[in-house]
Structure 1
Amino acid sequence: MIFSKGLRIESLLIDDNRLFISLNTKQILIDKIENHKRLKTASLGDLNEFRFIANGTGIHWPSLDEDLSLYGLLKDYFIKNFQEQSELVIS
């Protein structure tokens, strides 16, 4: 889906406990920093030292040796939401 639909990360904003990941579709993924072992113990300064990788489908923190992929973030989102739904409608 990511490659066939051309989904890409355009920007990342970080506050003290969340990642705000803006996509080229104008959607925003919001993820808790505590969900990521290496990120949750990092300083805000280290968190703000990131770069986009793999043509905008990932985020890399060199000083933390941490990578997040758009695929993994979306997978986590769909799994969480799938488990919370009693009915799924495919139109």
Structure 2
Amino acid sequence: MNSTKFSTSSKRAASISSPNGVRASDTSDELRLAGVDFDGDKLIARFANGGTIAVDVRRYPRLERATPAQRKKWRLIGKGSGIHWESLDEDLSVENSLFASAKKAA
């Protein structure tokens, strides 16, 4: 079952790759994170351009075991290129974690 969804700001489906061929290390608005939410077993990353990517939280054992309160205590790192949970000692980057997980699930 495909548990990953990526959408652009125009809300149409897109492939699980860096939009417009831009690498996350470029940290353009296309790939700059704006926030993160959880919906059941999905981690939903929100991008500055309005796009989202949803990945199965079971790919990240610390986040899977975390309480809802712990999951809410995150901060953006690297000018929006990643997310950090201090109390969980967990870091996810756009390029190496989120897009990699999305590709594995596709």
TM class by shorter chain equals: 0.7 to 0.9
Matched, 1:77 2:102: yes
Check conservation: 1:16, 1:44, Cα contact below 8 A: no
Q: CA deviation at 1:5?
A: 6.1
Identity rate, percent: 27
Distance in 1, matches of 2:27 and 2:73, equals 28
| Structure of larger gyration radius | 1
Matched, 1:62 2:80: no
User: Structure 2: which amino acid aligns with 1:68?
Assistant: L
Secondary structure at the aligned position of 2:26 is classed as: coil
Q: Which has the higher contact order (CA 8 A, sep 6+)?
A: 2
In the alignment, structure 2 segments of 5+ residues that lack a partner are: 1-22
Distance in 2, matches of 1:9 and 1:18, equals 16
- Shift of the 79–66 alpha-carbon distance from structure 1 to 2, 3 Å rule, reads same
- What is the correspondence of 1:1-91 to structure 2 with a 5 Å cutoff? 1-4=23-26, 6=28, 7-72=31-96, 73-81=98-106
Secondary structure at the aligned position of 1:3 is classed as: helix
Structure-2-length-normalised TM-score: 0.68
Distance in 1, matches of 2:24 and 2:100, equals 11
- 1:24-81, CA deviations, whole angstroms, 9 ceiling, x for partnerless residues? 2321100121110111111011011100101101000000000111012112323443
Question: Aligned residues, how many?
Answer: 81
Structure-1-length-normalised TM-score: 0.77
Check conservation: 2:59, 2:101, Cα contact below 8 A: no
